[in-house]
């Protein structure tokens, strides 16, 4: 008896590289804006250094959510694997 054939998947490298490259670019912008925005808002609101760090952490967490949503959406548009 032969073993049941399992469906093999192949990685689609052009799609993976495209999504990773876009994530690096967008991530740099999102996290840079989080740190700069937290600093600017803390100064604007007179919160001091500790307030700036708290705002930066909150905006960084928001950036993580944005990046997670971006990668999930990009993976639907550019699938990372295909059946082969």
pTM of this structure: 0.75
Whether residue 15 lies inside any domain: the answer is: yes
The residue segments making up the domain with residue 42 are: 11-83
Q: What is the pLDDT of residue 22?
A: 93
Of 19 and 4, more confident: 19
Q: Please count the structural domains in the chain.
A: 1
Whether residue 2 lies inside any domain: the answer is: no
Q: What is the pLDDT of residue 5?
A: 53
Nearest to residue 82, comparing CAs of 14, 10, 13, 15? 10
Whether residue 22 lies inside any domain: the answer is: yes
DSSP character for 46?
T
- 10 SS3 class: strand
Whether residue 6 lies inside any domain: the answer is: no
């Amino acid at each position: 008896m032969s073993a049941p054939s399992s469906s093999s998947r192949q990685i689609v490298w052009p799609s993976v590289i495209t999504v990773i490259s876009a994530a690096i670019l967008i991530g740099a912008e999102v996290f840079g804006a989080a740190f700069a925005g937290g600093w600017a808002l803390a100064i604007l609101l007179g919160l001091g250094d500790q307030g700036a760090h708290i705002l930066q952490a909150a905006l960084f967490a928001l950036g993580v959510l944005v990046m997670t949503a971006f990668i999930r959406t990009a993976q639907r548009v550019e699938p990372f694997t295909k059946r082969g």
